[in-house]
Chains A and B, each alone.
Chain A
């Protein structure tokens, strides 16, 4: 497996499901495995281990443009106050320490505006999902990234 993209969020909390929309916008590509999740759990550390690149796509409550940030390698693992779900950095830390993950990890943040109960994205999140998909294409689908 070359690349794995994990979209995280609850589509019943409107913009929290923005990551899933990003996955819908991405064309299928050889070597790229995608997965939609409600939340990250410890077993994702084993799932990402074989990948060269892993990208966590997640909605962001902070306003601003969508962005992709590289998770730093080698940092001590941050602690999670509620271990029933993990943060991307924690999944990566477990993958490195337990399952020999050596790839690069990124977080793609998709800012939203409405996280209330209900379905459908706000205009802000819809626009940001389109832009986030473009950023991911640039990162993963350009000739130099292959």
Chain B
């Protein structure tokens, strides 16, 4: 009889999830699913609230990437007001967005993935964590902590606190930046760049030892979606959407994020609370696309900063023009962090950052507002409809992790097919399946915000499709 192996919980990712691996009669992996069983309700319980409150409310979606939700929400508010934020406010928003990307990627790379990369996928499970890393590679662990601290400190300096800073508001930000703050930021840049160059050097030196993982952990063609500037550079705050295919060909370009709903659809499956976004012209599930660090590097022609551009060129030459292996999300994070630190230095060195005019004043001028930005895990959209009193009637959040949902499921299935065999699983097999998910660094607390929909159904099926048992929730 066909059997199912359940790995629950998945360790070292944010939120809660379950993986089901279905075996056929011969004990081989037939299929696999990545279930999200966490359930929240942000789109529903914000209804009736004034849109000015939304950045603060939406920041509570996540403790890892609150800045992204604040920015997308504030930008949706800008759209409702019909204003352009003052230049100093835009620079602050960009600065904090880069800082958040830095701290989030540092956590993902140095604390969650480096144990696999530096200690080995088959190293003892009790040592394959940040403490094992601290024991074997103390300098790397120490530098990773300090790098994340740098990003967090910028968020704290500008936003008032590290987690859930509510300093961005429709029209701009709440306060100006002082020279002391600017100087403190600039003083930390050299160490951050040194840390990242060392980490990139290490990563390049060990890359070839992961041939099997690179080839079989989530290596498949898909579309990639990300924001680029008009010149095709990496862009995280205000740009146009570009989509490329698995060979690097541009499928769509110059797409306006404000019209995201015309080219992105959202499907749901009864076995997960997380949505399944897709590229509409190719339908569901054929319109699977990936977002986040690897997608951004795939859609951008260049980074736009000198050190990151050098690394990006080498990365693309080493692999090929478009990278389909999920494993390379790790390298992509390092390149993005280097780019973020360069941009942080650039913005902090700009005298305009210190301007005290940081908020545009206006009344509500629209009933529909959309804001988007690049979050650490990919492109983020907040879409609000308000009544004439500015009260939220409808909110739709299209979250980065959800946009990777189809790809995560495909990566899990592919990895299970390669590394899982028979009715028993070794720790190494388990870890590789989980590692397929960790490539995407999913933030499940962000991506499960619907309420009263998508009940979770758990089914145990035989190889002939008969339901052996069924549990329904919600």
B-contacting residues of A (Cβ < 8 Å)?
12, 37-39, 41-43, 45-46, 77, 79-85, 90, 93-94, 97-99
User: How many residue pairs, one in A and one in B, have C-beta atoms under 8 Å apart?
Assistant: 68
Within the complex, which residue of A39, A45, A83 is in contact with B63, where a contact is CB–CB below 8 Å?
A39
Q: Which of B111, B135, B145, B164 has the most CB of A within 10 A?
A: B145
Cross-chain contact B145 with A94 (CB below 8 angstroms):
yes
Cross-chain contact B145 with A38 (CB below 8 angstroms):
no
Cross-chain contact A83 with B129 (CB below 8 angstroms):
yes
Q: B149: CB under 8 A from chain A?
A: yes
Residues of A within 8 A of B148 (CB): 41-43
Cross-chain contact A46 with B149 (CB below 8 angstroms):
yes
Tell me if A's interface is mostly helix, strand, loop or mixed.
loop
Tell me if B's interface is mostly helix, strand, loop or mixed.
helix
21 A-B residue pairs with Cβ-Cβ distance under 8 Å, sorted by A, are: A37-B163, A38-B63, A38-B163, A42-B130, A42-B148, A43-B152, A46-B146, A46-B149, A77-B131, A79-B126, A82-B11, A82-B13, A83-B129, A90-B131, A93-B131, A94-B131, A97-B134, A97-B135, A98-B138, A98-B141, A98-B145
Residues of A within 8 A of B129 (CB): 79-80, 83
Question: In the complex, what's the smallest C-beta–C-beta distance from B107 to chain A, in angstroms?
Answer: 7
Name which residue of chain A comes closest to B129, CB basis: A79
Within the complex, which residue of B130, B142, B152 is in contact with A99, where a contact is CB–CB below 8 Å?
B142
Q: Which of B112, B126, B129, B164 has the most CB of A within 10 A?
A: B129
Question: In the complex, what's the smallest C-beta–C-beta distance from B185 to chain A, in angstroms?
Answer: 16
Residues of B within 8 A of A12 (CB): 60
Not counting A41-B107, A41-B152, a sample of 7 additional A-B residue pairs whose C-beta atoms are within 8 angstroms of each other reads A37-B163, A39-B63, A42-B130, A43-B149, A46-B145, A82-B14, A97-B135
Within the complex, which residue of B9, B64, B145 is in contact with A45, where a contact is CB–CB below 8 Å?
B145
| 5 nearest A-B residue pairs (beta carbon) | A43-B149, A77-B131, A98-B142, A42-B145, A38-B163
Q: Which of A37, A45, A46, A84 has the most CB of B within 10 A?
A: A84
Cross-chain contact B152 with A81 (CB below 8 angstroms):
no
Residues of A within 8 A of B163 (CB): 37-39
Q: B12: CB under 8 A from chain A?
A: yes
A-contacting residues of B (Cβ < 8 Å)?
9, 11-14, 60, 63-64, 107, 111-112, 126, 129-131, 134-135, 138, 141-142, 144-146, 148-149, 152, 163-164
Question: In the complex, what's the smallest C-beta–C-beta distance from B118 to chain A, in angstroms?
Answer: 15
Cross-chain contact B134 with A83 (CB below 8 angstroms):
no
Question: In the complex, what's the smallest C-beta–C-beta distance from A103 to chain B, in angstroms?
Answer: 18
Name which residue of chain B comes closest to A39, CB basis: B63
Residues of A within 8 A of B131 (CB): 77, 79, 90, 93-94, 97
Question: In the complex, what's the smallest C-beta–C-beta distance from A102 to chain B, in angstroms?
Answer: 16
User: Considering the chains assembled together, what is the distance between the CA atoms of A77 and B152 in angstroms?
Assistant: 25
Question: In the complex, what's the smallest C-beta–C-beta distance from B80 to chain A, in angstroms?
Answer: 26
Residues of A within 8 A of B130 (CB): 42, 80, 83, 94
Question: In the complex, what's the smallest C-beta–C-beta distance from B324 to chain A, in angstroms?
Answer: 28
Residues of A within 8 A of B138 (CB): 97-98
Name which residue of chain A comes closest to B152, CB basis: A43
Question: In the complex, what's the smallest C-beta–C-beta distance from A107 to chain B, in angstroms?
Answer: 18
User: Considering the chains assembled together, what is the distance between the CA atoms of A97 and B144 in angstroms?
Assistant: 14
Residues of B within 8 A of A85 (CB): 63
Question: In the complex, what's the smallest C-beta–C-beta distance from B192 to chain A, in angstroms?
Answer: 13
Residues of A within 8 A of B135 (CB): 97
Question: In the complex, what's the smallest C-beta–C-beta distance from A51 to chain B, in angstroms?
Answer: 16
Residues of B within 8 A of A41 (CB): 107, 148, 152
Cross-chain contact A81 with B11 (CB below 8 angstroms):
yes
Question: In the complex, what's the smallest C-beta–C-beta distance from A7 to chain B, in angstroms?
Answer: 13
Name which residue of chain A comes closest to B143, CB basis: A98
Q: A38-B163, A42-B145 are in contact. Are A94 and B14 (CB under 8 A)?
A: no
Cross-chain contact A43 with B9 (CB below 8 angstroms):
no
User: Considering the chains assembled together, what is the distance between the CA atoms of A79 and B128 in angstroms?
Assistant: 9
